Amino acid sequence: MTDCCGPRPNEAIRYDLAVVGNGSAGFSAAITAAEQGAQVAMIGHGTIGGTCVNVGCVPSKAMIRATEAVYHANAASAKFAGVEAAGAVVDWKALVAQKDQLVTSLRQAKYADLLPSYNNVAYVEGQAKLAPGGVQVDGRLISAGKVIIATGTRPAVPAIPGVAQVPYLTSTTALELEELPKSLLVLGGGYVGVELAQTLARAGVKVTLIFRSRLLPEAEPEIGAALEGYLEAEGVQIASGVSYQAIRHVHGRIELDVEHAGRSVTLAAEQVLVTTGRAPNVEGLGLAELGIETTPNGGIKVDDRLRTTRAGFYAAGDVTGRDQFVYMAAYGAKLAAKNALNGDSLVYSNRAMPAVVFSDPQVGSVGLTEAQARAAGFQVRTSIVTLDHVPRALAARDTRGLIKLVADGRTRELLGAHILAPEGADSIQTAAIAIRCGLTIDDLAESIFPYLTTVEGLKLAAQTFDKDVSKLSCCAG
């Protein structure tokens, strides 16, 4: 047990709160508690900062933006008269090194350097095991009145026969490659698979994206179908609706046997990238010994106050197996810390949780999908406006995408918003605020939006419920 960045935990001290985990959720919980005057023990294992800054959001988005610049440079000549441009990734190793520098600087500034600012947070590095009355670290008890588990997740590997003998890549190791393969199989049609498949294809890799059901299965079907077409137009090969049969490493290449439409097919490439989900980091915590239950997906079971099934123990962030976004981890951990210290009065809510896929075009969504709204018993109305009706897209000569709104047909309250657009990620927050505040589609339709912005498409989509927006003049309505 070693001391880092703060006072050494003392076995004679009974801490108000012990936080297990040194990622975004762990830091959010510890800082929240410290700001309330609590004495906090924070237990970390592995690289400080967790998934997002080290191997997730930050590095992936840096690489996505780089190859996005390449794509749009190559597309510029076809879009704009009198423009000649071209782009290419000529030194992937240099790009990776630049990404690593960004990760290192953010990890230091946003994590390691923060701890000395909180005198009432004691940081200890070591493998944690939960215990009655606190947390054991290397066999020594850190006594605490309450405990928050925020140990995050890691890439999960599907149960494909032969996978253990295959040198597969994960979302972590793929972004550490110093040399790119000529061809790549990407397993998984979720947001990680989509983002990395497109990024690596734009870097010059021949990519085949393979998944069991449909692209972005949690998104609106119209968005998944449209994005699949855009990926194919860029040269990404799509194999959807397959079942995995076997995988092997033969003569320097990967062969994957799948069943598609009732027949067996073998797909091959130099390497394979597995992006089929994430597994909660719960091994060694001693959950069963304390009666802390888990969910079917392996996450720690919590109620709407982030309480586990053991009194005094809470869990937050990705380890709960739900809402696996860094901002939701931070939000949940902050709420858990306040509940642990102040009587469990705060309720976790994801009703207005924005979710983003950093594909190109980007996917932004918030609230209910059409299917979810119908299942919940609403009298559902929907509207869809394609980007060829949005002036911003016309001026940018990039009409890839659509906007779909879901509303309560009785009250006209906005229930969900789903955007596929080059700037969809920055536009979805307007809809998130609208849902949080209980606004109607009429409120959106009557609001003033700046002209020639992507977010103006929300106004047009709201107007589409009752009128043909193609017959409106600019800014009319």
Residues 262 and 335 in one domain: no
424 belongs to a structural domain:
yes
Amino acid at 383: S
Residue 119 counted as domain residue: yes
In whole angstroms, what is the distance from residue 410 CA to residue 276 CA? 39
| Tally of CA atoms within 13 A in the half-sphere of 121 that contains its CB | 28
Task: Tell me if 34 is assigned to some domain.
Answer: yes
How far from chain centre, in Å, is Cα 391?
Answer: 30
In this structure, the answer to whether residues 293 and 421 fall within a common structural domain is no
**208 and 115 within one domain:** no
In a domain? residue 28: yes
Token digits for 28? 């959010």
Structural domain count of the chain: 3
CA distance 134 to 143: 5
CATH of residue 255's domain is 3.50.50.60
Mean residue pLDDT of the chain comes to 95
Range of the domain at 247: 163-276
* Final residue in a domain of this structure, among 276, 305, 325: 276
**In terms of C-beta density within 10 A (0-12 exposed, 13-18 middle, 19 or more buried), how is residue 463 classed?**
buried
Residue 40 marked in a binding site: no
Q: State the residue for tokens 């090194």.
A: 97
pLDDT tens digits, residue range 233-281?
Answer: 999 999 999 999 999 999 999 999 999 988 999 999 999 999 999 999 9
Task: Answer yes or no: is 193 a known binding residue.
Answer: yes
Contact 308, 152 (CB under 8 A): no
In this structure, is residue 79 part of a structural domain? no
The reply to whether 312 and 431 lie within a common domain is no
How confident is residue 7, by pLDDT bands cut at 50, 70 and 90? very low
Q: Does residue 474 form part of some domain?
A: no
DSSP assignment string, 370-414: HHHHHHTT--EEEEEEEGGG-HHHHHHT----EEEEEEETTT-BE
Is 110 annotated as contributing to ligand binding?
Answer: no
Final residue of a domain: which of 276, 305, 323?
276
pLDDT at 430 exceeding the cut of 70: yes
pLDDT per residue over 8-54, tens digit each? Answer: 555 557 999 999 999 999 999 999 999 999 999 999 998 999 999 99
Distances (CA, A) of 295 to 22, 300, 311: 23, 6, 17
Total-model pTM = 0.94
Q: For residues 324 and 445, state if they share a domain.
A: no
CATH number of 403's domain: 3.30.390.30
**pLDDT tier for residue 74 given thresholds of 50, 70 and 90:** very high
Same domain (yes/no): 438, 455:
yes
Do the annotations mark residue 61 as ligand-binding? yes
What values do phi and psi take at 471, rounded to 5? -100, 10
User: Is residue 183 within 8 Å of 269, Cβ to Cβ?
Assistant: yes
The answer to the question of whether 228 is labelled as a binding residue is: no
Residue 204 in marked binding region:
no
Alpha helices, H only, 182-241: 191-202, 221-233
Query: pLDDT tens digits for 337-382?
Result: 999 999 999 999 999 999 999 999 999 999 999 999 999 999 999 9
pLDDT 10s digits, 394-404 = 999 999 999 99
- Quick one: 393 and 310 in the same domain? no
Taking 90 as the threshold, does the pLDDT of residue 465 lie above it?
yes
Exposed / middle / buried, residue 158 (Cβ in 10 Å: 0-12, 13-18, 19+) = middle
Residue 191 in marked binding region: yes
Q: Is 232 inside any structural domain? A: yes
295 with 369, same domain? no
pLDDT in tens, 186-240: 999 999 999 999 999 999 999 999 999 999 999 999 999 999 999 999 999 999 9
Residue 218 lies in a domain: yes
Q: Is the pLDDT of residue 6 over 70?
A: no
- Asked whether residue 133 falls in the same domain as residue 16, the answer is yes
> Among 289, 314, 342, where does a domain finish?
342
Name the residue among 85, 92, 297, 120 with its Cα closest to residue 179: 92
The predicted pLDDT at position 12 comes to 56
Co-location of 316 and 446 in the same domain:
no
For residue 293, give every residue at least 6 positions away whose Cβ sits within 8 Å of its Cβ, in sequence order, or none.
287, 300, 301, 308, 309
The answer on 332 and 254 residing in a single domain is: no
318 annotated ligand-binding residue: yes
d(CA 46, CA 281): 12
Query: Is there a binding annotation on residue 192?
Result: yes
pLDDT of residue 372: 98
Residues 195 and 268 in one domain: yes
